[in-house]
Structure 1
């Protein structure tokens, strides 16, 4: 991997700036409409790199189109033009261009630390190929002189949920279940590598972070060529162009191509080292994926990923979220309601977990962080609005528990009757209250559900 030949003294090369052509009128976005990274809380346009199509970074990467964004980065598809003279097929890469502020620097440094850990781990494990991680790093300077760290990745196609929507609709259908079971097995292999060999907890497993490989190079080539006639919509703010990302690679026209595609786990920006000393207590995971030990502050590790994986599998197959599925822009996430739904689905909270919550209720983390309500918090109870249990161990908001809900009544429609019991057993292994009772990713690989022939 070239990434480590460029550290720690990352060169800061001034890019060649492209001339921006006047866009057609229909691609102009009104100035008052927020675009991509602008919706990020505390957004500051001055810390983002002002990238443009046609721009050359690191003397080799020609930017083609913006394909993504985050709170501290934008993501661009680029062509490696250094290979043009070798008469080889065009090579594309994805560049994550980080912001120049402390947040961007901290995020990129942390991600590099994680990539180093992965790169130094067992190269023979089959799961290594299931992780999509940075393969190069360099730094560029903006026209104003600010420095931005760039991470280079293999280009990936659709997130797994979009592939599902392309071939099945909004939920997996019975005829497509066999191939999606294979995808789940592949992802477990990658998760096992992350846990057993790299000693990392991903902490952010969700369908958006599971991306599919391309079926063949021609799909990527066609997408790049299409950008010439379908340029990105854009707006100008403070003299800077902000582009709306374009990442629709089109339908899968040949279903046999699916045999050439497989999923990869991506985005290790929030991954944590599980083998360091001390308790892991700070909040992790998407809201509806919070494991019980995360909500209750009893410390988390690899089993939190296993819980998260179970939730993700359910979301994939059912096309709906198992917990907090009614959260929207008008109804905010409720940790208490989430726990109430867990009680309905899983049964009463074990006394052992209630005792752990009480014993660790006052453990502090540093520095304090803001919760969704803007409150500065230094422990889990403050962050999620607890405590959730009385001194006698009773859940404080029993009126929220939807007792009519059961896991068996909500099995995804794609699961056939002969597969039902083993599927439920598979899910219950992952979705159980006590983290020590969940299987490891290695143990999940041999689950009886995968042996069921459909």
Structure 2
């Protein structure tokens, strides 16, 4: 069969936007303190990039980029265009990691649970060039699911999602040698099984164009949200802007991870490896099931915030092993020579059993046993993603 000719670009809608905000209203990416209008590319709906990708609507934004649903006019499929701000280190990192993943040839089933790169290009902007990544289009994130579910994800649904995430992590850690470093609910998204939902989203945008504001030479658009489909797809690990390629044999030492998800080795300045992703996944599972963060103290003073975070770890896990403290470069900022916390922070008497409030009986015991396989002081004591997939609570075989 001969290939189809490229489709012509779609004509812009004639309908008035849902709302036009005044210039003094900060919208979406404008709300970041570091936002500089000239460093962000002014993407417009209807625009065609590379004579191929037509922008149909805005899907979202992040700390360094905006994301757009596009139609690939040559391949006749939907893609997502991620356009980075000028001079952001995440852009080069994500491109490097995604190209590395593209080069890995494997039949590991987890390879399908990692977001794919389709193309890259650069466009000239006011202050330099903008990296653009063409990615497969994904659906809602785990953050969206939690919000739509009233703040908590039901255990049955959560178990299926976690099994998929673990399979993806096993592929990243054992085959692709990638450490994600930023496992959280916004970076795990569901695949789309039926693109009819995207067709409907585009038609809605054309019937009632999304809210926006007009400032100088550009339009700032409000994002268009997806809904939970009748047949949800598989969880896919996305956003590799903070990831590391583990080229060994040495471990990493720089500070990574969101503050509230930081593993003990990050707090203590201990060299780290892929097991920080396992720690973060444990916290994410707790957050999704319980509807609240296990660690949430963030103070203006970084040292005080580190001490409070560490005190909370002691409350939940007990005293840290001495050999772990001795491996760290930052422990002297937390403890005196007698092993007491230097800063006046509370080490409350509590436990995971006391704070877990959604489950009962054997289900609760199984869940906490599963969690403890991830939330361990020493990274070497945490189970691998592959071993965690065999957990009785996760597989529904707990006694």
TM-score (norm. length: structure 2): 0.89
Contact 1:354/1:393 (<8 A) preserved: no
Gaps of at least 5 residues in structure 1 are 1-15, 84-89, 362-380
Match for residue 271 of structure 2? 299
Structure 1: how far apart are the matches of 2:357 and 2:176? Answer: 33
Distance change (3 Å), C-alpha of 1:231 and 1:452 = same
Aligned partner of 2:112 among 129, 142, 167: 129
Bigger mean CA offset, 154-163 vs 303-312: 154-163
Match for residue 83 of structure 2? 97
Match for residue 5 of structure 2? none
Contact 1:49/1:97 (<8 A) preserved: yes
Structure 2: how far apart are the matches of 1:283 and 1:327? Answer: 16
Figure out how many residues of one structure are paired with residues of the other and give that number: 388
1:230 paired with 2:208, answer yes
Aligned partner of 1:395 among 341, 350, 359: 341
Structure 1: how far apart are the matches of 2:214 and 2:280? Answer: 40
Bigger mean CA offset, 303-312 vs 416-425: 416-425
1:158 paired with 2:140, answer yes
Contact 2:182/2:242 (<8 A) preserved: yes
Match for residue 316 of structure 1? 288
Gaps of at least 5 residues in structure 2 are 1-8
Distance change (3 Å), C-alpha of 1:57 and 1:328 = farther
Match for residue 33 of structure 1? 25
Structure 1: how far apart are the matches of 2:393 and 2:304? Answer: 32
Bigger mean CA offset, 433-442 vs 204-213: 433-442
Bigger mean CA offset, 130-139 vs 304-313: 130-139
SS of equivalent to 2:132: strand
Structure 2: how far apart are the matches of 1:399 and 1:42? Answer: 31
Match for residue 245 of structure 2? 273
CA deviations 1:221-276 (Å, max 9, x no partner) are: 11111001232222222332222222x12344x4xx24xx2111100111012224
Match for residue 37 of structure 2? 45
Match for residue 170 of structure 1? 151
Matches within 5 A, 1:22-421: 23-24=16-17, 27-83=19-75, 90-99=76-85, 101-103=86-88, 106-142=89-125, 146-166=128-148, 168-173=149-154, 177-246=155-224, 248-252=225-229, 254=230, 257-258=231-232, 261-276=233-248, 278-324=250-296, 334-357=305-328, 360-361=329-330, 387-397=333-343, 399-403=345-349, 405-413=350-358, 415-421=359-365
Distance change (3 Å), C-alpha of 1:48 and 1:333 = farther
Structure 2: how far apart are the matches of 1:412 and 1:160? Answer: 21
Contact 1:214/1:220 (<8 A) preserved: no
Structure 1: how far apart are the matches of 2:12 and 2:235? Answer: 37
Contact 2:45/2:56 (<8 A) preserved: yes
Contact 2:39/2:127 (<8 A) preserved: no
Contact 1:340/1:398 (<8 A) preserved: no
CA deviations 1:303-353 (Å, max 9, x no partner) are: 1111011001111111111111x6699xx9922221111111100121112
Match for residue 430 of structure 1? 374
SS of equivalent to 1:430: coil
SS of equivalent to 2:210: coil
Structure 2: how far apart are the matches of 1:19 and 1:448? Answer: 53
Match for residue 367 of structure 1? none
TM-score (norm. length: structure 1): 0.79
Match for residue 3 of structure 2? none
CA RMSD of aligned residues (A): 2.7
Distance change (3 Å), C-alpha of 1:165 and 1:238 = closer
- CA positional deviation for 1:186: 1.1
SS of equivalent to 2:70: strand
Structure 2: how far apart are the matches of 1:165 and 1:328? Answer: 26
